[in-house]
């Protein structure tokens, strides 16, 4: 892996939160923080736990266009991924990223109907560091 991709991987792996964006019914972008992804496949797929009742889930089921953003503001670095988000409600995917103590968020446990998975699949990425922007081919 080249240096820039390794730097980005490190930035992601040390992030405690990620920022996801979706498009609402009036065409506005909406952004919110999420717990860091529980699993990722290189820089192309990211899996998040979330509430089935959330606005993000509602709107991703209508329009999968999504953004995923990580940043380290102390070092002026950020990585913006553009791609598609899919809501996964099958038990296998829910089991795959469940962790001990997730009952804090989903009181009924891993089968809680209010627990589901968002899979974000990146199609392109843009990295910012020290006033410089780099478009990346990640697929």
Does residue 105 belong to the site contacting a copy of itself (CB under 8 A)? yes
Region binding a copy of itself by CB under 8 A among candidate stretches 2-10, 13-21, 40-48, 93-101? 13-21
Site string for a copy of itself, 49-88 (x = CB under 8 A): ------x---------xxx-x-x-x----x-x-x------
Q: How far is the CB of 11 from a copy of itself (least distance, A)?
A: 12
In this chain, which of 13, 24, 41, 90 binds a copy of itself, going by CB under 8 A?
Answer: 24
Q: Can you give the chain as a three-state secondary structure string?
A: CCHHHHHHHHHHHCCCEEEEEEECCCCCEEEEEEECCCEEECCCEEEEEEECCCHHHHHHHHCCEEEEEEEEHHHCEEEEEEEEEEEECCHHHHHHHCCCCHHHCCCCHHHCCCEEEEEEEEEEEEEEECCEEEEECCC
Region binding a copy of itself by CB under 8 A among candidate stretches 3-11, 29-37, 41-49, 114-122? 29-37
Is residue 77 exposed (0-12), middle (13-18) or buried (19+ Cβ within 10 Å)? middle
In this chain, which of 8, 21, 43, 119 binds a copy of itself, going by CB under 8 A?
Answer: 21
Name the residues that contact a copy of itself, by CB under 8 A: 16-17, 19, 21-24, 26-33, 55, 65-67, 69, 71, 73, 78, 80, 82, 105, 126, 128, 131
């Amino acid at each position: 892996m080249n240096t820039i991709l390794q730097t980005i991987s490190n930035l992601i792996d040390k992030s405690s939160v990620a920022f996801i964006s979706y498009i609402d019914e009036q065409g506005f972008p909406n952004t919110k923080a999420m717990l860091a992804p529980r699993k990722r496949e290189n820089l192309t797929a990211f899996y998040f736990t979330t509430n089935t009742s959330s606005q993000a889930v509602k709107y991703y089921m209508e329009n999968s266009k999504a953004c995923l953003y990580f940043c380290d503001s102390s070092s002026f670095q950020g990585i913006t991924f553009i791609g598609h988000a899919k809501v996964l409600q099958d038990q296998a995917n829910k089991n795959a990223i469940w962790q001990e103590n997730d009952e804090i968020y989903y009181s009924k446990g891993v089968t809680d109907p209010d627990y589901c998975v968002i899979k974000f699949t990146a199609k392109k990425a843009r990295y910012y560091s020290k006033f410089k922007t780099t478009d990346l081919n990640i697929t």
